[in-house]
Structure 1
Amino acid sequence: MRRTTPPFRVGIIGCGGISHAHAFGFGNLPSLFEVRTVCDSNQEAARRLAEPFGAPRICGDWREVIGDPEIDAVDILLPHHLHALVGVSALRAGKHVCLEKPLAITLSEGIELVHEAKASNGVFMVAFNERHRWSVRTIKRIVDEGRIGDVYMVRTDHNQNPRFAADAWYRNAQLAGGGALIGSGIHMLDLLQWFCGTATSVFATGVKLPEVLETETAASVIVEFAPRKEGCPRCIGTLDISWAAPNHPWYQFLVVYGTRGTVSTLRGDIVSLRTAGEQEEFRAPEGDTWTDSFREELRHWGECIAQGATPLTDAREAFRSLEICVAAYRSMETGASVRIPLPV
């Protein structure tokens, strides 16, 4: 029977690269979660991930996890093409669900998850950890306090140099749903719509480097947003992303422009506020790292389960970033701006 109070019994489904950050989060939240099962088709990977948690059950079939009455919640960390299948199945089994981004790889799959999450009595969250970074939360607080006025533009820049094995699922467009944009750029698209509101159109272009991926390795995206309220300016958001920057440090830039000032971060350790009347810098707490954002997003999920609350990135919110991403791919194909909402 599903517990109604923490610690909630968790099954981790998928032991790829991102699973280690999630395991770090669970390991630092013992009052909220108890990892009971670790599942992966690679049993050795499952054993390695399970080791710090004592002696949780190991299995190779995700169906065993969602069918286990001793599991309250599942953390789904699978290749993108499996998100809808496993997410829907877990919701129908009555589990609370944390699903690694993206929500899905098609709009129809995304809508199915939105409907299932609404019908379920479980708490469903898509894992957009960037919202839980110290720097992003600090910028959002400053914006919400009105210190830079009405937001009219947001710029993001994200660079990585991932090394994928020849048989990695990320190299397969059918499994990944795309390349750099849906792989990590969707984090930035989520931030754009969080700061700017409702998207109305998208224009995008991309570059393919076949030796890296069969889909886009780099992309530039411009998103137009409706005014948040009467009398406010419309907002535009931009994203530049590359997955092919040799010897380039992991880099992420976020700047929010308002009618009275700007607030920005370059690497996440310092937030800079600039207005006509003030210049102020905020520094991250000592020891704060990118990995801490995974702990904080899982803390948010656990608290929502305990309180029966709606997570920041529920299915509907995650669908909005998926729709922007799909529109960007359609724009790359046609060379034209694409209006939102999209027909399904």
Structure 2
Amino acid sequence: MEGFMPKKKKTTVNFGVIGLGMGRYHLEGYLKAPNCNLIGIADIDENRLNDCKNRYGIENAFKDYHDLLALKELDAVSVALPNYLHKPVSIDALNAGKHVMVEKPMALNAAEGQEMLETAKKQGLILMLHFNNRYRGDIQMIKKFVDAGEFGDIYYAKTGWVRRRGVPGAGSWFSNKKLSGGGPLIDLGVHVIDMTMYMMGCPKPVAVSGCAVQAFPEYSKYGTFDVEDFASAYIRFENGATMAVEVSWAQNCPSEKQFSEIYGTKAGASLSPLVIWTEQNGILTDIEPKSLRGISQFEHFADCILNKKTPISSAQDGVTMMKILDAIYASSELKREVVIKWE
């Protein structure tokens, strides 16, 4: 048709951030990403809200997140709130027609996570997990080697995050099981299990044996403390691979340590320090590669929205993680291995 001008493809996404504690990190990530336009924020803490509004020059700032979701020009939000609020606020956002990036853990349990996933599917929207470690340069590099077959078959991994003394907000929502879902397993374990599983190629978990204990009950003097402070687990995968896990907020160990190691038939690797163990020309060889530059998960989220891509850290990945965590807690209660059910 003469004079017809095709609609120009959208190149940026309008974002909002709900919760400005951890959400400040999201806020700064969106401001740095070229395909992201931060247009609004929400937090019930008026001082924190005004500080972010003035510091970053954000026009739309609300105490009630529903007012943020009511903005017609808003495309997507980050939900960076205490764990017990992840499900209701994410579902409200999805039902308001907004794409969602939700902080880890996805929810309090797998049932909540599944409800979030089903809502996203129903609305035809993207629900992305903020599994930030997947986007690190070192992890992306190892994943490329694994995907190229350089490690052979990955048959074992071990990972953990242990602290000598590092209980976050004892007496706050962190240490209240109804509000957090658990202790270091759901707080730290979600990070190390996910990033290690990702490097392994995301094998399907089928069974778990775990133990969650509270070795330092004295933290209850600060308020409710009904979660574990240490957990360990052994995860079995459908392809025959296994993973050992250890996490703690408080432990009589030398110091805080985070580690992740994978072992394959051709090579193995550690993230701390970054090294690949292999054999070349019959000689045992240690390779210390230069890490790749990481990926901005905020830029990636916008790209997924603009180009209808599946995120590197999808809602299904979030549900899978919650199934693992649920099974570890169940195994600890039942004192036996628990089979993970898949429908």
| TM superposition score normalised by structure 2 | 0.87
Which shifted more, 60-69 or 89-98? 60-69
The 1:87/1:265 distance shift into structure 2, 3 A limit, reads same
The residue number in structure 2 matching 1:308 is: 308
SS in 2 for 1:306: helix
The residue number in structure 1 matching 2:82 is: 79
Is 1:180 the counterpart of 2:184? The answer is yes
The residue number in structure 2 matching 1:326 is: 326
Contact 1:35/1:53 (8 A) holds in 2: no
Aligned counterpart in structure 2 of residue 5 of structure 1, from 7, 10, 16: 10
Contact 2:167/2:249 (8 A) holds in 1: no
Matches within 5 A, 1:146-161: 146-160=149-163, 161=165
2:246 corresponds to which letter in structure 1?
Answer: D
The residue number in structure 2 matching 1:231 is: none
The 1:304/1:274 distance shift into structure 2, 3 A limit, reads same
Contact 1:11/1:71 (8 A) holds in 2: yes
Contact 1:193/1:321 (8 A) holds in 2: no
2:250 corresponds to which letter in structure 1?
Answer: A
1:299 corresponds to which letter in structure 2?
Answer: E
Instruction: Output one character per residue of 1:167-210: Cα deviation in whole Å (capped at 9) or x when no partner.
Output: 52112110001111111211222234432501110011122123
After TM superposition, give the deviation of residue 164 of structure 1 in Å: 3.5
Aligned counterpart in structure 2 of residue 207 of structure 1, from 213, 219, 224: 213
**In 2, distance between residues paired with 1:221 and 1:13?**
33
The residue number in structure 2 matching 1:23 is: 27
Gaps of 5+ in 2: 1-7, 220-224
Aligned counterpart in structure 2 of residue 235 of structure 1, from 224, 238, 241: 241
SS in 2 for 1:10: strand
| TM superposition score normalised by structure 1 | 0.87
Contact 2:83/2:179 (8 A) holds in 1: yes
Is 1:217 the counterpart of 2:229? The answer is yes
**In 1, distance between residues paired with 2:261 and 2:66?**
43
**In 2, distance between residues paired with 1:249 and 1:35?**
39
The residue number in structure 2 matching 1:283 is: 290
1:176 corresponds to which letter in structure 2?
Answer: S
**Root-mean-square deviation (Å):** 2.2
After TM superposition, give the deviation of residue 300 of structure 1 in Å: 1.4
SS in 2 for 1:310: coil
1:104 corresponds to which letter in structure 2?
Answer: A
The 1:260/1:328 distance shift into structure 2, 3 A limit, reads same
1:10 corresponds to which letter in structure 2?
Answer: F
The 1:309/1:340 distance shift into structure 2, 3 A limit, reads same
After TM superposition, give the deviation of residue 70 of structure 1 in Å: 2.2
After TM superposition, give the deviation of residue 59 of structure 1 in Å: 1.1
Aligned counterpart in structure 2 of residue 67 of structure 1, from 66, 70, 73: 70
State how many pairs are aligned. Answer: 323
Between the aligned residues of both structures, percent identity stands at: 29
